[in-house]
């Protein structure tokens, strides 16, 4: 499963006399330390509500991944599709550490290694229901045992 990612960051007016144009080469997303392609892709659109529970987990826990597969590179894309004002946003973080806020139309892309169950991706809706789209590329996730 060869998946590639590329980012560009431009600005015509950030620095006078020098247009910003960050454009690194295309990156092929692979398993950690090797050139093997990733196995799985999970994607979807989720309505994130406020209230109980306030924090939601996105993606599997380390113990839900097979063998050593948890401590490898996964890649996560999230976009907040809300069109509401700045009182609506998604807090995102890793475990109990809130790192940033995705306002209307904002997106993020990070590599993510679930080193243990305390490294899970958490999201929380603020202001009201926010709808996100997400895509997670990883490998060897096993489904939890049914109750």
Partner 1 sequence: MATLIPTLTLSSTDATTDLLNFSITDSLNITQDVVGPSKVKLTTSDLEIGPTSYGKSYVYLKNTDDTIAINIEITDGNSAFQLAAGEFAFFPWTGTCGIVAFSASGTPYLEYAIFEA
Of 41, 45, 49, 128, which one interacts with partner 1 (CB under 8 A)?
A: 41
Q: How far is the CB of 66 from partner 1 (least distance, A)?
A: 19
Kindly tell me which of 8 and 145 has the beta carbon lying closer to partner 1: 8
Q: How many CA atoms lie within 13 A of 104 on its CB side?
A: 10
- Applying CB under 8 A, does 55 fall inside the site for partner 1? no
Q: 65 burial class (0-12, 13-18, 19+ CB within 10 angstroms)?
A: buried
Kindly tell me which of 52 and 118 has the beta carbon lying closer to partner 1: 118
Distances in Å between the Cα of 52 and the Cα atoms of 28, 89, 133 are 39, 17, 21
Least Cα distance to 121 among 50, 61, 44 occurs for 61
User: Footprint of partner 1 on this chain (CB under 8 A)?
Assistant: 1-15, 20, 22, 24-25, 27, 30, 32-33, 41, 73, 77, 79, 92, 94-103, 105-113, 115, 119, 135, 137
């Amino acid at each position: 499963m060869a998946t590639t990612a590329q980012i560009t960051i431009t600005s015509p007016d950030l620095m006078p006399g020098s247009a910003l144009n960050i454009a690194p080469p295309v990156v092929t997303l692979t398993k950690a330390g090797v050139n093997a392609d990733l196995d799985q892709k999970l994607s979807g659109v989720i309505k994130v509500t406020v209230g109980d529970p306030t924090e939601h987990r996105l993606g599997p826990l380390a113990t839900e991944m097979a063998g050593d597969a948890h401590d490898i590179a996964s890649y996560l894309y999230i976009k907040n599709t809300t069109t509401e004002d700045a009182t609506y946003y998604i807090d995102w973080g890793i475990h109990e550490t809130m790192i940033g806020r995705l306002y209307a139309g904002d997106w993020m892309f990070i590599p993510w290694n679930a080193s243990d169950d305390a490294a899970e991706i958490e999201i929380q809706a603020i202001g009201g229901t926010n709808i996100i789209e997400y895509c997670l590329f990883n490998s060897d996730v096993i489904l939890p045992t049914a109750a």
